[in-house]
Structure 1
Amino acid sequence: MTRSGRASALDLPRTPTGVTQVFHALRARTPRRGAGLPAEPPWRSEFIAHEAGVPRLSLGEFGYAPDELGHWRGRADDTALVGPWQILTKEGLENLTEVCENLEKAARNSGFIATRRLRGADLLSPFLNNMIRDRTFLLTCSRLVGVPLIPHPLRIPTAQINYGSGQGRPEIVRWHRDGMDYVFTIQLTGHDDYEGGRFTYFRGRTDEFAGAVPGDPRIHEAPCGERGATLFLHGSRIFHAVTPVTDGRRATLVISLFCPYFARQDSNTFWHLAGDDGIPATVPSWLRLKWPVRNPAVDFSLRAGCPVITWDDIR
């Protein structure tokens, strides 16, 4: 099997710990809107494509028991993986690709991640800001996953653009699970643009991942090599990785959404976020996330600056 099937501890992410983690968090900078970026095309709800017959896997198919799932008044949070499918029309994808290409100049390298990336991309881009707060976009994502979803209140991680290439530091496959629960990845480039860069995932519980070995049949590749292909993953419940880009350029937009009804079960930890975005940027968002609410759908939507999405909306 290729390196995408390896699941040893050496393949886990190299992340800061201890004093290094604090130092990294103090140095992290928040992206700020400024001059130097070209004008963008306007976002339109008509850019959302009609979804039909989208493949879906449940968390039960990954080995999770019913009592391990999130529940809200008889409704279960049981979706593991959806897609791939084309969430945008051809025109919408062309506009999104143009926007993300122009934002690359604002991307940064990390001492712990080989891929260049731009966190908080919607803070710099009106197009992305309007896209992920569009009611049609949110309803489409919510109906596919089966729970009401809005942009994550932890503002900076909501939209991240990854720019990977076969040049620069050598990469290895880094298996990991996300701090975010509801993660949508849109391919901005396709397999014709690069070699490698295959999205792989472990079809099993996270506590079973340490037992995976080369050739393990639970290692799968998601067939999302087409431009515009969109994949949903319950990021905190599934170990996944991207194989190294050996030639060409691979770009993806990663959007993290949030279910207000499962706010108390949100998987993020403070230091996971602070290590990426810095302590000053993380504290206000973290406090807003933990602040008590009376009506989850309304209160969290106000904090996220987006339309209210309820259970009734996704029936």
Structure 2
Amino acid sequence: MTTARTTRGRSPVLNLPRTATGFDQVLHALRGRKPRRATGLPGEPRWRREFVRRDAAGPRTSLEEFGYGSHELNHAHGTVDDTALVGPLRILTPEGLDCLAEVCDRLEPSAGSSRFIATRRLRSADLMSAFINNMIRDRDFLLACSRLAGVPLIPHPLRIPTAQINYFEGRGRPEIVRWHRDGMDYVLTIQLNGYEDYDGGRFLYFQGRTDEFPGVREDDPRIREAPCGERGTALFLHGSRIFHAVTPVTRGRRVTLVISFFCPYFARQDSNTFWHLAADDGIPATIPSWLRLKWPVRDPAMDFSLRAGSPVITWEDVRE
């Protein structure tokens, strides 16, 4: 692994993200552009609710197993928001996966790059594809994701990072997607091709609290690999509470769709910060979404669902 800086006589310390700071951060934020919008790809497949698997489930690890205490977690309606990681699992049928992979392949020419990220990527993919838009706002799909998380979920109201396609290539930068935690609390990653198509590209995570991560070395036994590299496998992650990384792709091409969700009932506890988003997507694109996210609400489930263009998911739906 080329994940760390060397230290004489000791295991190397794991690298944190390379991000814009200071003047670079301000310039990057000011140059951000609004996401492209389109009605859909000509001739793209049509989303169908039958593409959602009825048996979507996988091994679950709790945040308690990562070292978090119950008092640090969100509580509502008699439920503790304690899911750390679920998977590997399969959430789409083979036909649904084939259609999604086709759409993501066709969207690749629109992907961009940045000197602060190791992959090419397409943000706000749901604004570019009717298939992806309808998939992540389909009631059956949202119910399946909500039941994995154990809390009601909708697509995140911050539209730019809601659906992101990552294109990792062996001919690109030979570096890790460095250790980081997400701004988003609830994240689902779907693998669109498999190990037979590439070398490297392994998903690693640190099974410990985020405040325990600084100074962690690469031989720490809490560094784990999630075996989610087979085509079609998915991994649900409480992204803001778990440090994770992807090892370099040294051959071939690895494609993933990353979907960010939001729990309206925990809106006040959402982990996003303005500058985390603005430094990535730019101030002009971030301000409108940020204002919508922070707008006071009376009925969280209804209000945020309407903002996200999503059906309402309730606690009763999750428990059925």
Tell me if both proteins adopt one fold, taking TM over 0.5 as the criterion: yes
Residue number in structure 1 paired with 2:179: 175
Residue number in structure 2 paired with 1:220: 224
Deviates more, 1:9-18 or 1:184-193: 9-18
Find out whether 1:200 has 2:204 as its counterpart: yes
Aligned-partner residue type, residue 47 of structure 2: W
Aligned-partner residue type, residue 43 of structure 2: A
Cα displacement (A) at 1:35? 9.1
Cα displacement (A) at 1:52? 5.2
Find out whether 1:273 has 2:277 as its counterpart: yes
Find out whether 1:145 has 2:149 as its counterpart: yes
Give the whole-Å Cα distance in 2 for the aligned partners of 1:274 and 1:53.
35
Cα distance, 1:33–1:300 mapped onto 2, change above 3 Å: same
Give the share of equivalent positions with the same residue, in percent.
74
| Number of residue pairs matched by the alignment | 314
Give the whole-Å Cα distance in 2 for the aligned partners of 1:249 and 1:154.
28
Residue number in structure 1 paired with 2:102: 98
Q: Secondary structure at the match of 2:214?
A: helix
Q: Secondary structure at the match of 1:156?
A: coil
Cα displacement (A) at 1:59? 0.2
Give the whole-Å Cα distance in 2 for the aligned partners of 1:151 and 1:71.
21
Trace 1:212-291 onto structure 2 (pairs within 5 A): 212-291=216-295
Give the TM-score of the pair, scaled to structure 2: 0.94
Give the whole-Å Cα distance in 1 for the aligned partners of 2:193 and 2:291.
37
Q: CA offsets, 1:158-204, max 9 Å, x none?
A: 00000011103221351000000000000011100000000000000
Aligned-partner residue type, residue 222 of structure 1: A
Aligned-partner residue type, residue 114 of structure 1: A
User: Which segments of 5 or more consecutive residues in structure 2 lack a partner in the other structure?
Assistant: 6-10
Give the whole-Å Cα distance in 2 for the aligned partners of 1:181 and 1:296.
17
Trace 1:124-139 onto structure 2 (pairs within 5 A): 124-139=128-143
Cα displacement (A) at 1:30? 2.4
Cα displacement (A) at 1:40? 0.7
Q: CA offsets, 1:133-154, max 9 Å, x none?
A: 0000000000111000000011
Give the TM-score of the pair, scaled to structure 1: 0.96
Residue number in structure 2 paired with 1:115: 119
Match of 1:303 among 280, 291, 307: 307
Q: Secondary structure at the match of 2:179?
A: coil
Aligned-partner residue type, residue 162 of structure 2: T
Aligned-partner residue type, residue 48 of structure 1: V
Deviates more, 1:277-286 or 1:25-34: 25-34
Residue number in structure 2 paired with 1:27: 31
Q: CA offsets, 1:250-309, max 9 Å, x none?
A: 000000000000010100010111112111111111011111101100000000011000
Contact 1:5 1:216 in 2 (8 A): no
Trace 1:29-108 onto structure 2 (pairs within 5 A): 29-34=33-38, 37-51=41-55, 53-108=57-112
Q: Secondary structure at the match of 2:303?
A: helix
Q: Secondary structure at the match of 1:163?
A: strand
Deviates more, 1:35-44 or 1:228-237: 35-44
Aligned-partner residue type, residue 291 of structure 1: W
Contact 2:53 2:90 in 1 (8 A): yes
Give the whole-Å Cα distance in 2 for the aligned partners of 1:94 and 1:252.
13
Q: Secondary structure at the match of 1:312?
A: helix
Q: CA offsets, 1:70-101, max 9 Å, x none?
A: 11143211000001111100000000000000
Residue number in structure 2 paired with 1:162: 166
Give the whole-Å Cα distance in 2 for the aligned partners of 1:125 and 1:207.
38
Aligned-partner residue type, residue 171 of structure 2: Q
Find out whether 1:313 has 2:317 as its counterpart: yes
Aligned-partner residue type, residue 197 of structure 1: G
Give the whole-Å Cα distance in 1 for the aligned partners of 2:87 and 2:281.
29
